[in-house]
Amino acid sequence: SCQDSPLTTPPPPPSRLPHIQDHRGITAKRCGHQPPKPIAMGGEGAEGDGGLPAFERLHPSRFVVFSFPNPLDPSESGARSLRVAVLDSPAPSPAPSTAAMLVPPGRESDWVFSTPAGHLQLLLSSSASRLVLLGCPPSGDSPLPVYARPRPSSTFQHQRALLPLLLALCPRSAFRGGALPEVPFLSYEDGVVWSRVVAVAAGPVAGEMVVEDVEVEMVEADGADTSNPLLPPTASRERRRRVRFKRMPNLVQTQMRLVPEIAAATGSSCFRVETGVLVQPYLAPMVAGLFLASSLIEEKTHMGLRPRVLCLGVGGGALLTFLESHLGFDVLGVEADEVVLSAARQYFGLMEGEFLKVSVEDGIKLFKGFCGEDCAGKCCSGNACGRHGRLRWWQEYLDSAIDVIMVDLDSEDARSGVMAPPAEFVEKDVLSNVKSVLHEQGILVMNVIPVSGCVYGELVGYLHEVFSELYEIGVGNGENCVLFATVSPVAFPLFGNPRESSFIQKLRQIVGSKYVDAIKKI
């Protein structure tokens, strides 16, 4: 049975908008050993030979799934047939190459391996122009209720047995000069040792999502700050609760640490979500960037006022809770999907109060067409402006300027090549409107994941056109970085000030000097 489900090639992005992509710790890489020597199929593979007719040429974004008799002993592999999924790259390649990946046993139903979106993200994280996934057929449409990673075993015989099929799936152009192409096997690593599905839901914006408890192997990054109790400790393994979306299953949207406790009613051991700790690797650098607004924050604190922060993107609410509980901010969170907010409240301990409020709104649309001037409800075109129209629900919040805007948003479609921030957010009119609601000493903070230095340079250029100064912090995971844009020039020396304010001292205490000292001007 053969199922051909084309993935439509996305339209090219506007020339001024960057492509940004994130894989957040989930990578595809070559196995440590060399792949077995290719096995010829019915001859020496003369030039032009090889390839099933349907796969002789690359077709951008074509996705094909079919079943194939299992060449391995069913008693070893557990299935008489294999699911073979073939995806061609959305972008043309001058030197076509094919790679393969064996689906980890027990994860056949995981959206990473069973959906076109997950397959595409795996392909984009490799250098291949065609990626073939091979594994047992999935047992359902959602990840298994419980997964336990089996003991590692050699896949050498599996790879050798599957090479004839893989050679037949190579495009005709790969057979050059009578030589058989090399088909490397990629491995998948995300550190998950054990997982349990807590809930599966579907939202009007995010689509299908899974809340799951996982046990992950921890790998300490070089130079990690291990002295701060508000950051995740270094440990061999750690339990976490996290959310993933089906449209981008390789990305962990939000995660929090699970810590053991004794239930008062029964005396039995259980786990609870630890809400006061920043687990996502880029959240601590985002908070560290408040250093750039420390004069404003210190001034408001001395006046008995809470600094005001608007968070675009709530997720599980870890950042919002941290800003309110540890730094005393007045926090407003905006989340586009009400189901995501419900999950944050039910499964991640998000609690609203006098100084922490959330609302269901599209953060980008709120700033599109928004007029930052005092226009008595009318913009220059005579139409009702955003502040007095779409933004009426938070008009009171805007009566005094916002001190900090934090953006943690990703793209809705991995095929756009943009994951964080969405391309729409860095349009000039949106950035200008964002600036218009900030205090004159305020800052914009963004989680950014660029696919290349060129894309990152373009993003920096767009921000420079609107804001006064730009700063950055590298997260240290090889993927994320955090950008800070200031409305006005920073009026104090960044470092070497012997009389740091009490807020800066507190900031160093709760997120560590490692990130504060890593801030650099662009």
DSSP-assigned beta bridge partners for residue 215: 194, 239
Contact 282, 482 (CB under 8 A): yes
Which amino acid is it at 236? S
The C-alpha atoms of residue 352 and residue 330 are separated, in whole angstroms, by: 11
pLDDT of residue 92: 80
Q: Could you report the per-residue pLDDT of 148-196, keeping only the tens digit for each?
A: 988 877 778 888 889 999 999 999 888 887 789 999 999 998 889 999 9
The C-alpha atoms of residue 225 and residue 234 are separated, in whole angstroms, by: 9
Share of the chain above pLDDT 70, in %: 76
Lowest mean pLDDT among 217-231, 301-315, 360-374, 451-465: 217-231
Confidence bin at 380 (pLDDT 50/70/90): very low
Gyration radius of the chain over CA positions: 25
Q: In order of start, what are the domains of the chain with their CATH numbers? A: 27-189 (no CATH), 192-274 (no CATH), 283-521 (3.40.50.150)
pLDDT of 2 > 50? The answer is: no
Cα 432 → chain centroid: 26
pLDDT of residue 89: 92
pLDDT of 414 > 60? The answer is: no
Mean pLDDT, residues 258-267: 77
The C-alpha atoms of residue 384 and residue 406 are separated, in whole angstroms, by: 27
User: What are the φ and ψ backbone dihedral angles of 286, each rounded to 5 degrees?
Assistant: -60, -45
Q: How far apart are the first and last CA of the chain?
A: 55
Confidence bin at 323 (pLDDT 50/70/90): very high
> Highest mean pLDDT range out of 294-298, 411-415, 453-457?
294-298
Kindly state the tokens that stand for 433: 């409107």
DSSP-assigned beta bridge partners for residue 419: none
> What's the longest Cα–Cα distance across the chain?
84
User: What are the φ and ψ backbone dihedral angles of 290, each rounded to 5 degrees?
Assistant: -60, -15
Mean pLDDT, residues 311-323: 94
DSSP line for 120-132: HHHHHTSS-SEEE
Share of the chain above pLDDT 90, in %: 47
Confidence bin at 288 (pLDDT 50/70/90): very high
Contact 26, 80 (CB under 8 A): no
pLDDT of 7 > 80? The answer is: no
pLDDT of residue 78: 60
pLDDT of 384 > 70? The answer is: no
The C-alpha atoms of residue 65 and residue 433 are separated, in whole angstroms, by: 46
Kindly state the tokens that stand for 442: 């305020």
pLDDT of 325 > 80? The answer is: yes
